[in-house]
Amino acid sequence: MPGKLKVKIVAGRHLPVMDRASDLTDAFVEVKFGNTTFKTDVYPKSLNPQWNSEWFKFEVDDEELQDEPLQITVLDHDTYSANDAIGKVYIDIDPLLYSEAATVISGWFPIYDTIHGIRGEINVVVKVDLFNDLNRFRQSSCGVKFFCTTSIPKCYRAVVIHGFVEELVVNEDPEYQWIDRIRTPRASNEARQRLISLMSGELQRKIGLKVLEMRGNAVVGYLQCFDLEGESGLVVRAIGTACTLDKLSNTSAFLPACNSPSKEMKEIPFNEDPNPNTYSSGPSTPLKNQTYSFSPSKSYSRQSSSSDTDLSLTPKTGMGSGSAGKEGGPFKTLLRQQTQSALEQREFPFFTLTTFPPGFLVHVGGVVSARSVKLLDRIHNPDEPETRDAWWAEIRQEIKSHAKALGCHAVVGYSESTSICEEVCILSASGTAAVLNPRFLQDGTMEGCLEQRLSWQPGFFSIGSEKGEVDFFPQSQDSSSLLGIEEASPPGCGFCHIPYDELNMPFPAHLTYCYNCRKQKVPDVLFTTIDLPVEAIVVGKGCLIQARLCRLKKKAQAEANATSISNLLPFMEYEVHTQLMNKLKLRGMNALFGLRIQITVGENMLMGLASATGVYLAALPTPGGIQIAGKTPNDGTYEQHISHMQKKINDTIAKNKELYEINPPELPEEIIGSPIPEPRQRSRLLRSQSESSDEVTELDLSHGKKDAFVLEIDDTDAMEDVHSLLTDVPPPSGFYSCNTEIMPGINNWTPEIQMFTAVRVSRLSNINPTNQTLNKNFNDLCENLLKSLYFKLRSMVPCCLCHVNFTVALPEDELVQIAVTAVAITYDKNQALQANKAPTEKSQQRASTDNEEQLQFPLELCSDPLSSQPFSPAKEVLEGASSHTGIPAAQRATSVDYSSFADRCNSWIELIKLKAQTIRRGSIKTTTSLEKASPLAEGYLRHRSVPSGTNSTVSVVKMTPLSFLPGAKITKYLGIINMFFIRETTSLREEGGVSGFLHAFIAEVFAMVRAHVAALGGNAVVSYIMKQCVFMENPNKNQAQCLINVSGDAVVFVRESELEVLPPQPAAAAQPTGAAGDVTT
Amino acid sequence: MSSDLDVFVGNTTLIDEEVYRLWLDGHSVAEAVARRLRGGLLEREATSVAVLQSDTRDHYRTFQMLERLLHAPPRLLQQLLFQIPPERQALLVQRYYAFDEALARELLGKKLSKGTKKELDEVSARTGVGIRSCRRQFDNFKRVFKAVEELRGPLAENIQQLFLLPPSLARDYAAIVFFANSRFETGKRRLQFLSFGDFAACAQSMMAHWSQGALAPEAAEPDGDLPKSFLQDLKELKVLVTDKDLLDQHKSLVCSALRGKISVYNELEANFKALSRALVNVGGKLTHARDVRDFFVDLVEKVIEPCRSDKWSPGDLRLFLQHYTAAPRNLPGFRHQALWERYMAAISACLLRMFHD
């Protein structure tokens, strides 16, 4: 019996009128977990019932705790007929299962009904008492932390980044079961919501188990998706990056902070030693220091034994990196060997992260992607989803082999997606091939770990700032100095250097010496799916670049359909790529970050939408312009037309360069010692690495008739293409946009943010659509959407739209749905203006010093508030007793009842005791506030104590798709938010039509996310993402249905300006409780 | 390519003050777009009509969803659906409950019933306030009226608490409720020169001096009703005009005090008895609901108009009322001085406020 879940139903407010006669409601509540249900009393005749129930206790094992959601149903009691449901609240209790996060969930939750939307609110308090479980073969993985954030979370540091974890579970979709014909839409929706909630709990637990197997304690960059395969079922799949994280805090500067007993038990053995005997030594005190004292040579043998010949896959291009690596010189071989050894054991050396600790990324090869078209069939045995697993395994293998072809051993910024239409499904995966620093990857290699930890002091972080060359690879330095080619990777350009061998390139590319260090070769253009590395040197600002494309397809069935789609895909990839390349050149830039290509399949067309952030990397050569060549040069007017067009293009490039402040320093050619690319030379087709993606379809793009530099106008289509290039309107002045975390070139953010979701569904009304008209329509749709965003947010100027994320769906024949989620962040114009005055200083500028600081000095910043905090007496007592358990001072406090465990060994008691304390602490807090009949979440109390100028009763919860909040410091991660909602209506017109319906639903989803975060004690959601928004309507029946899936990380943040004021507070908060709660040690 | 569905939802709800104003004024989306276009927004922001339409629709939808909450402003503060900064919430409420004085003037003293609502078309035509806006404002009046009808304590404070209105706006609503409750006639032709502000000020002085709350804050009766016992007591004051001796003494006291101090002394001397009779009888009639209606009509007809035709100046009136109120203190046998002063305090304030062209 590893856990006890306790739930208290306090009160309700603003309930709907359920009894027309009295205009009142007789409400009661059912609390269900697993198969156990409790009920409150009926609170008669009130719209604001005060139940103040007892504690409902569920005794469950932790497997169940992880899988099941807590289900709270509010009903109206009816003496004569069946009780009417008012609505439900699902609470994911996962955040309570690792104690670093929340200790109690307490607050007002919107009562949600899938037919009526939000109907009042209910106040609930939820707590979990976890008991320790030593069973090594258990099925639960409590304590593994999950983060949606695709970088190392701000108040943690990565000890080891283990690598890729994936899992999928399948089930039948309740919507398509026979029973659905006889039950109400509400019952069907609720069955679906509950099932998906269960499935994602199970999925998370299974991933957690994999992480534990890999000896990690966290999953970063966790991305969970649903595939609604209709008749053939429901697939929930997730990918993530397993890591071993250490919490940064002052009290445990040398100790990894683990204050959960369950976590403790897991982590210690894994960190220390693969030796199975550790269980006996694990719990001994003092725990943490031992982690470091272990011998540093643990897995050396494993490391050196591996070699290139171990490569299991020979890339089909025939230009294997295996051999290329060897020819490339000792350094590369060595580096490769080391990296490989670390990655070799892994099936897929993939990382879902997009931002990395400095030095992690050694070289970047380019974008790799793979797509495959599959026909869906019914999943016969849900317990063994072999086909889906096999499909993904196939795609991942392909990605892996592409990466190898680029001379890379790893894929970073990796993501997977699907697009389903009827029975056809396109599976896509993409990432960025990269060479990584092995030191972060060697699990169990204590040397790496140890060094990492010990050197992970501010000194370590100074890498990449002032020092030109840094002793970053102690192992590799010898070899590189011998060769004299690479004296470590110079900061700011190292990642641009090609990882593949220039004599044996996997594809034709044009190389020059790096414009920054002039020692290594770089490609002319670089495409990646990751965020701009912090150390990258950029010129000017970045901008959002999109390629948009439609392709008509004949309606077909089954295999014929799948075949026609697979035939179209390579052409789409090619065109998307060409568009991106042209638009990049048009802006005078040379690199794309955060590239995301989405191909959506509909009944009679395919749509491609690629978004990325263009920048000018100082290390790469200046891009040439775009030249237009006419096919028939003898026609005078035609010639004139061409030259007119050419002038327009040249003007646009010049204008863009000014707009984005791209004025790279002039370099004399001799120094570079490499030819500047000649625009006119067509034989030297300049293509980026991203084209490896096209290898999926084995298309030789070098024979394409248009290249990136010369646009040939040989027919009207081509003319249209050029025109469409020029239709992209730059954002109005004061606006910038990007789809990455940070806007290259802007670093003076002010704290105002506005996250939003915009959805548009448009009808393509053409009777005889052609690709061209469709393209234009689609292009207009996107441009208008952007324009309308700029208009809406005009009051925030100057600001930047960050993390602009477009998703395209084709819900019906002629309907295109575009959903955009992004955040607008204001920045200080004055500072920007100052920078303008000194363009020379600005021209060579770090990507974002702001972010750099956040990444590079987390230790100092994090520890500050705690170090200045006076030790409370209670804490000292505990500290003496619990001997370095590494619990942050803020969490130490108050009373205990652990005596029942006294027969166990000492250190155990300490741990359990501390666990009990954290739980108890929560309860004390809530009971005191309960007396005031208004239980408040921790965060709310905290929030209120912060002078925020609010006198409203609802605490403000910020939401952002970014992993950080400008001008604020994230002090705590409370857990992952992963919510799935269905909303349906049978009175569409009455609810304001489709727009009114969806508007209300999105607002409701936001409200429910905020309420959950506030109940966890948080005041923000970071890395927020709307992963799915499936909208279906049937206007004739006056019906509509929508499914939305969102996720993010609930956090507590403190404004940096308040950081100095705040530190005494936790101590002050701890003291009264410490005094009240008897320290019964 | 037409957009079937087009929504924008921010985590912090965007409120455009200009669009809110247009919505409150009852304009349709198309009218609102046209007005925004006329405002030159298109040129300033270099955007398109389609964008403006989409933006206006978004705002209108938001306002429609907010309207339910605006009907009970404390709920707006508690609700979780829209995250709106407090100062914006205050603005939303304040603007929603702000009203056109011309309209309020028309509705003063009318029963806030369905019948009145049906007449709003005419009111709209007379006042130039859009019909939809008229209906919204009427509903506001009615909602506030219903909410505080049964409540005890000071009316304005109750309204301020229930609807989170700024104090001055709450006082105006209190006046509207007071008028609707007592059903004073305000529509007569001879009352047309009085503005909403005049009546509101009168209502405030009447509530301030006459209501039970004015004497005992924990009063048993709602503030909007004038206390029955007080009205009953007013009958006692009739002695001032029915008792010939008292009337004469009163006159001589006032006249001797005012001699040489006011420009219209002769007229005062001539009219004193009529004036005094009018002033006292107005109070005496207040026990009958039918006569209550004529309170302002009587004041104008019997006090203000005669004074005006005699060319009294406001200063004259003030001095007169001052001494007229104070004099009975020195009248032998007059035992109702406290009641008299309480009565006259409100009457004087009303008269002084109403005494203009």
pLDDT at residue A829, rounded to an integer: 73
Is residue B92 pLDDT above 90, yes or no? Answer: yes
- The ipTM assigned to this model is 0.89
My answer on whether omega of the bond before A633 falls inside 30° of 0, hence cis, is: no
Greater pLDDT, A200 or A337: A200
pLDDT at residue B167, rounded to an integer: 92
Average pLDDT over every residue of A733-761: 88
pLDDT at residue A381, rounded to an integer: 62
**CB-based contact B50 A784, cutoff 8 Å:** yes
Task: For residue B90, give the chain A residue with the closest CA.
Answer: A952
Which are the contacts of A506, defined by CB distance < 8 A and separation ≥ 6? A315, A317, A319, A321, A405, A406, A407, A500, A692
Residues of A in contact with B61 (CB under 8 A): 992, 995-996, 999
* Range picked from A283-297, A429-443, B70-84 for highest mean pLDDT: B70-84
Which are the contacts of A473, defined by CB distance < 8 A and separation ≥ 6? A335, A437, A480, A488, A489
What are A921-927's contacts with CB under 8 Å, separation 24+? Answer: A921/A103, A921/A891, A921/A893, A921/A894, A921/A1073, A921/A1077, A922/A103, A922/A104, A922/A127, A923/A104, A923/A127, A924/A894, A924/A895, A924/A1073, A924/A1076, A924/A1077, A925/A104, A925/A1073, A926/A104, A926/A106, A926/A125
- Residue B321's closest CA among B344, B303, B342? B344
Is residue A890 pLDDT above 80, yes or no? Answer: no
By Cβ distance, the residue of B1, B48, B50 closest to A763 is B1
DSSP-based three-state secondary structure for A471: coil
pLDDT 10s digits, B291-316: 788 889 889 988 889 888 888 888 88
Q: How confident is the model at residue B218 (pLDDT cuts 50, 70, 90)?
A: low
Residues of A in contact with B3 (CB under 8 A): 760-762
This prediction has a pTM of: 0.79
- Residue A202's closest CA among A168, A225, A241? A168
Is residue A219 pLDDT above 80, yes or no? Answer: yes
Give chain A's radius of gyration (CA, Å): 29
pLDDT 10s digits, A633-647: 566 777 777 788 888
- Structure tokens, A593: 């970050």
pLDDT 10s digits, A330-370: 444 555 555 555 555 567 889 998 988 877 888 888 899 99
Greater pLDDT, A659 or B201: B201
By Cβ distance, the residue of B7, B47, B52 closest to A759 is B7
Greater pLDDT, A173 or B9: B9
pLDDT at residue A719, rounded to an integer: 66
pLDDT at residue A896, rounded to an integer: 34
- Residue B29's closest CA among B52, B9, B5? B52
CA–CA separation, B53 and B55 (whole Å): 5
Task: For residue B56, give the chain A residue with the closest CA.
Answer: A792
Backbone angles phi, psi at A1024, to 5 degrees: -70, 135
Q: How confident is the model at residue A760 (pLDDT cuts 50, 70, 90)?
A: very high
pLDDT at residue A600, rounded to an integer: 92
**CB-based contact A954 B80, cutoff 8 Å:** yes
CB A313 within 8 Å of CB A324? no
DSSP sequence for A29-96: EEEEETTEEEEPPPB-S-SS-B-----EEEEE-HHHHHHPPEEEEEEE--SSSPPEEEEEEEE--GGG
H or E segment to which residue A783 belongs: helix A771-792
**CB-based contact B62 A999, cutoff 8 Å:** yes
Q: How confident is the model at residue A298 (pLDDT cuts 50, 70, 90)?
A: very low
Is residue A1078 pLDDT above 80, yes or no? Answer: no
**CB-based contact B80 A794, cutoff 8 Å:** no
Greater pLDDT, A772 or A480: A772
Is residue A939 pLDDT above 80, yes or no? Answer: no
Report residue A547 CA to chain centroid gap: 22
Is residue A451 pLDDT above 80, yes or no? Answer: no
Q: How confident is the model at residue A316 (pLDDT cuts 50, 70, 90)?
A: very low
pLDDT 10s digits, A782-798: 988 999 999 999 888 88
Range of lowest pLDDT (A12-26, A312-326, A543-557, A746-760): A312-326
pLDDT at residue A706, rounded to an integer: 34
CA distance A956 to chain B (A): 7
Q: How confident is the model at residue A441 (pLDDT cuts 50, 70, 90)?
A: low
pLDDT at residue A901, rounded to an integer: 34
**CB-based contact B89 A952, cutoff 8 Å:** yes
The DSSP code for A1 is: -
pLDDT at residue B2, rounded to an integer: 58
Q: How confident is the model at residue A94 (pLDDT cuts 50, 70, 90)?
A: confident
CB A995 within 8 Å of CB B6? yes
CA distance A837 to chain B (A): 26
DSSP-based three-state secondary structure for B47: coil
> Whole-angstrom distance between the N-terminal and C-terminal Cα of chain A?
26
**CB-based contact A996 B64, cutoff 8 Å:** yes
B interface with A, Cβ–Cβ < 8 A, is 1-14, 45-48, 50-52, 54-55, 57-58, 61-62, 64-65, 75, 77-83, 85-86, 89
Greater pLDDT, A280 or A774: A774
- Let me know how long chain B is: 357
Residue in this structure with the two tokens 């690709």, named with its chain if needed: A771
pLDDT 10s digits, A395-422: 999 999 888 888 888 899 999 999 998 8
Range of lowest pLDDT (A842-851, B202-211, B276-285): A842-851
Average pLDDT over every residue of A670-685: 39
Is residue A1075 pLDDT above 50, yes or no? Answer: no
Average pLDDT over every residue of A910-930: 35
- Structure tokens, A827: 């920045």
CA distance A271 to chain B (A): 41
| pLDDT mean across residues, chain A | 71
Q: How confident is the model at residue B189 (pLDDT cuts 50, 70, 90)?
A: confident
H or E segment to which residue A380 belongs: none
**CB-based contact A957 B81, cutoff 8 Å:** no
CA–CA separation, A746 and A966 (whole Å): 12
Which are the contacts of B67, defined by CB distance < 8 A and separation ≥ 6? B96
Q: Which of A607, A755, A988, A995 to mutate to test the interface with B (most CBs of B within 10 A)?
A: A995
By Cβ distance, the residue of A14, A110, A781 closest to B1 is A781
CB B194 within 8 Å of CB B305? no
CA–CA separation, A32 and A70 (whole Å): 6
Residues of A in contact with B48 (CB under 8 A): 784, 787
Q: What angle do CA A509, A511, A512 make, to 5 degrees?
A: 160
CB A114 within 8 Å of CB A193? yes
CB B172 within 8 Å of CB B190? no
Neighbouring-strand partners of residue A228? A234
Neighbouring-strand partners of residue B256? none
Which are the contacts of B183, defined by CB distance < 8 A and separation ≥ 6? B109, B110, B111, B289, B292, B293
Is residue A474 pLDDT above 80, yes or no? Answer: no
pLDDT at residue B187, rounded to an integer: 86
Range of lowest pLDDT (A176-180, A661-665, A907-911, B277-281): A907-911
CA distance B64 to chain A (A): 9
CA–CA separation, A644 and A969 (whole Å): 53
CA–CA separation, A68 and A35 (whole Å): 10
pLDDT at residue A908, rounded to an integer: 36
Which are the contacts of A161, defined by CB distance < 8 A and separation ≥ 6? A241, A242, A243, A351, A353, A360, A440, A441
**CB-based contact A761 B51, cutoff 8 Å:** no
pLDDT at residue A876, rounded to an integer: 37
By Cβ distance, the residue of A121, A792, A996 closest to B14 is A792
Q: How many CB atoms lie within 10 A of CB A1051?
A: 31
Handedness of CA A945, A949, A955, A961 (dihedral sign): negative
Q: How confident is the model at residue B8 (pLDDT cuts 50, 70, 90)?
A: very high
